[in-house]
């Protein structure tokens, strides 16, 4: 037995060691991670972000160097806080708070201590940075805006948030990312690809050479420059015209679907969202829930389109052969479509399609709509037929344009009405307000502009887009694919002629531009706001849509002015000024221009001022057919949608 003791001990000991090894090396994999944190230092090489040009090659957005002060809390040693804070112009409390925050993130890993200092802010600190062990700087490039407009189109650059870091492995804490506008939708193109260098480090955190001879290192890829479809001159002019107004302008080149101008008002100078002031300014913009400068009205404001929608009513009527150009309806300042139900109209006398359009006769289009819905004994089927025609103009859907925000708008279907009127049937008369764009239909300005582009093209459109060229890359094929409507080409001619006479004989006759044939349509959306708890009718939203020239159209435009009153008073002039600016690059009617530039609606908006939110801002269908139903526009700034 004595012989067995030592061999047994050896074998037991060996088993013990192997079990321990198995536990350390195979079962518990936390050591692997610790080892990487321990020994490998990753350095990123951030490429310069791509420049942004307009359609004519004018530089809009470039870059400027900026500096992030980084801190590794564990390595802080004997910091002269007083001097440090003075150099960076921060308070002692700031310092303590930021260090504490960095420690919570990780005592061992670098955190951004102070982000985005510009050259002059950084200069003084740079000389002394050696004195502050544990701090170092990281050079970045920040946006340098060459223009003071287009903020809503560009979007901005910000630090990536923790949620995205967790979701997208490309980003690390402190990385910059495009938010909103083209900075967001073309983030991957503009940012390029950052280079990664792995360094082996030793226990003192010193680099001792590259890791595995740079086997895993990658070289950064420059961000690509992009050309927008935007016309810088037109964009700037549009923003100028919108000063002291609220609303949106969308201009599209009908032949291509290129967005020439995308204006929202109020807007802001994109430069205020750069550098150290960014976060303060952003908060100010974000908190302004009444004027909502971050809310792109051109893309997001959904309203009942009003009169411009009559264009589609007419076109569907022609297509469904329930009317022709000669079909006549009599108007007696309105239309009594049921006992006690009366739709007002400013027109009087016999109306055909042509004068129905330029006089914007409610009676005429109500009758057309009744015929469309009455064509089939199966009302839901008739509604869906109408709905599909309307949808073929890009309505009631995200259009697929390359900007990160948007709204669907709304085109009702038989399902909509099944839910609205459960248990009892409905007829064309029940939903007649759709005829004049005051029913369940909702449209955004970009949808209105696209509708006009489609009419200008006599039946097709290209998905609106903001990208013209990406360095070395064709733009997405979906922007060069024709979308053809369900309306035959021949039906557009009479409609266009009617729209042309809106300027000659109709509601916009005062807005004619000598030498340019413009086709357009006024519109008005009633709206209400709660002021001191009382629901008060506000000045109508002013809507105007147009395209020009009549033959071979170059521009289609939609203008929406919140509380702008009758369509022809503010929205109409703005549309015609924009058209003239774009087609001629100069303005002949300087008096009109001056009047519009000086026109301020701030007194009207001031009434809303006491109100906390535009949530309370209400809109209502204009007609009295149904009991007033409130449509409450959402004010959530939708930045997440793609």
Partner 1 sequence: MKNQSLTNNIDWISIIIYIVLVLMGWLNIYSSSLSSMEGTADKQLIFIIFTIPLIFIILYVDGKFYEKYASIIFGFALLSLAGLFVFGKTIAGQRCWYGIGSFTLQPSEFAKAATALALAKYLSDSQINLKDVNRQIQALAIVFLPVLLILPQPDPGSALIYSVFIIVLYREGLPAWYVLSGFVAILLFVLTLVLEPEYVILISLIVIVIYHFKSRLGDRNIVLSSIFFALISGFVLSVSYVFQHVFKQHHRDRFNILLGKSVDMKGIGYNTNQSEIAIGSGGWFGKGFLEGTQTKGGFVPEQHTDYIFTTVGEEWGFLGSLLVVALFVGLFLRIIYLAERQKTKFSRVYGYCVAGILFIHFFVNIAMVLGIFPTIGVPLPFFSYGGSGLWGFTILLFIFIKMDANKVNEW
Query: Interface with partner 1 by CB under 8 A: which residues?
Result: 2-3, 5-7, 9-11, 13-14, 16-18, 20-22, 24-26, 28-32, 34-36, 38-40, 200-203, 208-209, 211-212
> Smallest distance from the beta carbon of 10 to partner 1, in angstroms?
5
Strand stretches in 229-387, DSSP E = 247-253, 258-265, 329-338, 341-351
Residue 428 Cα to chain centre, angstroms: 35
The residues near 95 (Cβ < 8 Å, ≥ 6 apart) are: 81, 84, 85
43/584 with CB nearer partner 1: 43
Classified as helix, coil or strand, 175 is coil
Q: Minimal CA–CA distance to 542: which of 528, 556, 522, 557? A: 522
17/632 with CB nearer partner 1: 17
22/398 with CB nearer partner 1: 22
Pairing of the two strands 52-53 and 226-228? parallel
24/221 with CB nearer partner 1: 24
What is the C-alpha to C-alpha distance for residues 372 and 357, in angstroms, rounded to an integer?
17
Q: What share of the chain is helix, strand, coil (3-state, %, to 5)?
A: 40, 25, 35
- The DSSP code sequence of 281-304 is HHHHHHH-TTT-TTS-HHHH--B-
Cα→Cα distances 641→106, 152, 188, 347, Å: 32, 15, 16, 43
> Smallest distance from the beta carbon of 474 to partner 1, in angstroms?
44
16/82 with CB nearer partner 1: 16
> Smallest distance from the beta carbon of 210 to partner 1, in angstroms?
11
> Smallest distance from the beta carbon of 133 to partner 1, in angstroms?
17
The residues near 375 (Cβ < 8 Å, ≥ 6 apart) are: 320, 322, 382, 385
Q: Helix crossing, 362-374 with 310-319: angle to 10°?
A: 40
> Smallest distance from the beta carbon of 86 to partner 1, in angstroms?
32
> Smallest distance from the beta carbon of 3 to partner 1, in angstroms?
6
Q: Minimal CA–CA distance to 448: which of 565, 552, 559? A: 559
5/636 with CB nearer partner 1: 5
> Smallest distance from the beta carbon of 26 to partner 1, in angstroms?
6
34/478 with CB nearer partner 1: 34
30/91 with CB nearer partner 1: 30
Number of Cβ atoms within 10 Å of the Cβ of 601: 20
> Smallest distance from the beta carbon of 13 to partner 1, in angstroms?
5
Q: Helix crossing, 445-456 with 492-504: angle to 10°?
A: 110
What is the C-alpha to C-alpha distance for residues 401 and 384, in angstroms, rounded to an integer?
25
33/534 with CB nearer partner 1: 33
> Smallest distance from the beta carbon of 112 to partner 1, in angstroms?
25
202/488 with CB nearer partner 1: 202
> Smallest distance from the beta carbon of 198 to partner 1, in angstroms?
10
133/202 with CB nearer partner 1: 202
> Smallest distance from the beta carbon of 173 to partner 1, in angstroms?
22
> Smallest distance from the beta carbon of 290 to partner 1, in angstroms?
54
What is the C-alpha to C-alpha distance for residues 495 and 389, in angstroms, rounded to an integer?
16
DSSP state of 37: H
Q: Helix crossing, 571-584 with 232-241: angle to 10°?
A: 160
Classified as helix, coil or strand, 277 is helix
> Smallest distance from the beta carbon of 25 to partner 1, in angstroms?
4
3/586 with CB nearer partner 1: 3
Kindly tell me the burial class for residue 256, based on how many C-beta atoms sit within 10 Å of its own C-beta (0-12, 13-18, 19 or more): middle
DSSP state of 27: I
HSE, side-chain direction, 13 A CA sphere, residue 55: 19
Are the C-beta atoms of residues 547 and 519 closer than 8 Å to each other? yes
26/166 with CB nearer partner 1: 26
């Amino acid at each position: 037995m004595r012989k067995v003791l030592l061999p047994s001990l050896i074998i037991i000991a060996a088993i013990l060691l192997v079990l321990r090894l198995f536990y350390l090396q195979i079962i518990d994999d936390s050591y692997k991670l610790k080892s990487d944190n321990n020994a490998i230092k990753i350095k990123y090489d951030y490429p310069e972000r791509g420049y942004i040009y307009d359609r004519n090659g004018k530089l809009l957005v470039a870059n400027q160097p900026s500096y992030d002060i980084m801190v590794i809390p564990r390595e802080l040693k004997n910091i002269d806080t007083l001097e440090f804070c003075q150099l960076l112009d921060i308070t002692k409390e700031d310092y303590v708070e930021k260090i504490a925050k960095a420690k919570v993130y990780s005592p061992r890993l670098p955190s951004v201590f102070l982000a985005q200092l510009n050259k002059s802010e950084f200069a003084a600190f740079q000389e002394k940075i050696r004195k502050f062990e544990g701090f170092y700087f990281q050079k970045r490039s920040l946006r340098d805006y060459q223009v003071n407009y287009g903020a809503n189109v560009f979007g901005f650059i910000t630090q990536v948030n923790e949620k995205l870091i967790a979701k997208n492995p490309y980003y690390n804490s402190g990385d910059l990312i495009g938010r909103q506008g083209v900075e967001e939708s073309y983030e991957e193109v503009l940012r390029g690809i950052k280079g990664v260098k792995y360094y082996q480090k030793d226990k003192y955190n010193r680099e001792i050479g590259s890791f595995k001879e740079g086997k895993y290192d990658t070289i950064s890829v420059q961000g690509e420059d992009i050309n927008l479809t935007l016309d810088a001159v037109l964009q700037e002019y549009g923003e100028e015209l919108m000063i002291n107004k609220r609303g949106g302008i969308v201009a599209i080149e009908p032949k291509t679907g290129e967005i020439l101008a995308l204006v929202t008002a109020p807007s802001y100078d994109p430069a205020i969202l750069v550098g150290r002031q960014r976060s303060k300014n952003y908060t100010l913009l974000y908190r302004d829930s009444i004027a909502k400068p971050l809310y792109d009205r051109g893309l997001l404001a959904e309203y009942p389109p009003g009169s411009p929608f009559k264009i589609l009513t007419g076109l569907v009527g022609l297509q469904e052969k329930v009317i022709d150009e000669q079909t006549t309806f009599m108007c007696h300042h309105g239309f009594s479509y049921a006992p006690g139900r009366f739709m007002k109209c400013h027109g009087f006398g016999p109306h055909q399609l042509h004068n129905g359009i330029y006089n914007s006769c409610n009676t005429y289009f109500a009758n057309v709509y009744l015929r469309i819905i009455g064509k089939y004994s199966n009302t839901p089927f008739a509604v869906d037929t109408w709905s599909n025609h309307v949808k073929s103009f890009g309505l009631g859907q995200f259009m697929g344009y390359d900007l990160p925000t948007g709204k669907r708008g709304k085109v009702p279907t038989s399902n909509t009405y099944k839910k609205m009127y459960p248990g009892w049937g409905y007829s064309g008369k029940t939903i007649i307000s759709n005829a004049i764009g005051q029913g369940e239909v909702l449209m955004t300005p970009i949808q209105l502009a696209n509708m006009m582009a489609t009419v200008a093209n006599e039946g097709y459109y290209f998905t609106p887009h903001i990208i013209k060229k990406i360095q070395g890359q064709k733009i997405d094929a979906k922007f060069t694919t024709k979308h053809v409507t369900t309306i035959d080409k021949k039906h557009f001619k009479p409609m266009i002629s009617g729209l042309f006479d809106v300027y000659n004989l109709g509601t916009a006759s005062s807005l004619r531009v000598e030498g340019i044939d413009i086709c357009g349509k006024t519109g008005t959306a009633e709206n209400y706001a709660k002021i001191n708890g009382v629901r008060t009718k506000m000045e109508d939203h002013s809507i105007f849509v147009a395209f020009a020239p009549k033959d071979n159209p170059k521009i289609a435009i939609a203008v929406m002015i919140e509380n702008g009153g009758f369509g022809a008073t503010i929205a109409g002039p703005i549309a015609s000024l924009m058209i003239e600016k774009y087609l001629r690059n100069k303005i002949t009617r300087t008096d009109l221009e001056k009047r519009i530039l000086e026109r301020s609606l701030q007194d009207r908006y001031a009434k809303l001022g006491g109100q906390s939110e535009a949530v309370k801002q209400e809109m209502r269908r204009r007609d009295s057919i149904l009991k007033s139903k409130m449509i409450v526009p959402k004010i959530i700034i939708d930045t997440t949608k793609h």
